[in-house]
Amino acid sequence: MQDKKKERILNLLGVVFVLWGLVAVLYQFSIQEHYFVLWFCYIGLILIGTGILVRSDFLIASQLAIMGLPSLVWAIDFFYFLLTGDPLWGITTYFFEDQTKIGNLISLQHLFTVPLALFSLSMIKLKRKDFWVLSIVEVIVFYFISRIFSTLEQNINYVFSSSLPFKTPLPYVFDWFFFFFLMIFIATAIILNMRFLKSQRAGKMREK
């Protein structure tokens, strides 16, 4: 792909991500749901867009490590409900019940965020392998922020409870961190093994 064309595409994608994230944030404020802006998916949109605009593989990959598997789970639940009319895990039930059209449009970002972020990263190329460190730090920080500023009913980032059938005998806080850390490390392993994200130069150097 020609450099100028690639730059235009990246700039466009970066702007789309940032604007989508800002619209999501402004929408939550407009309906008086201020703390909903703390959802990882909204923060992730803005950070991915910023990462694309500044060509930061580190920032983009760190958000993919957090959002990758949860977005896949959301998509599975969404299409199951769409095809059967019944909830699978109940994650996307809100989409089909009491959500506004604008809210639904914003929520559709779960379907395109990961593919477009990977596409952007494939053009920028993954150079750093330690992006998971930022993912871990971000998850820890937002856990405590979400616990402090959201309620049991709002359940931002599922810090109080989860509808998924995966539980351990331990207190829920341990479940939360265990599954988020596990998802981050699984996503990191997948990202690091995606050859199309790496530069050809790096591959040739390893072969030598």
144-197 confidence digits (pLDDT tens): 999 999 888 889 999 998 877 667 788 999 999 999 999 999 999 999 999 999
Contact 49, 14 (CB under 8 A): yes
Confidence of residue 207 (pLDDT cuts 50, 70, 90): very low
Over the stretch 84-127, which tens digit does the pLDDT of each residue have? 999 888 889 888 887 788 989 999 999 999 999 999 999 999 99
Q: Is the Cα dihedral 34, 155, 58, 103 positive or negative?
A: negative
Percent of the chain residues past pLDDT 90, beyond the cut: 72
- Domain housing 89: 3-207
Total tally of structural domains belonging to the chain: 1
DSSP 31: T
* Integer Cα distance of 105 and 110 in angstroms: 10
Does the global pTM surpass 0.85? yes
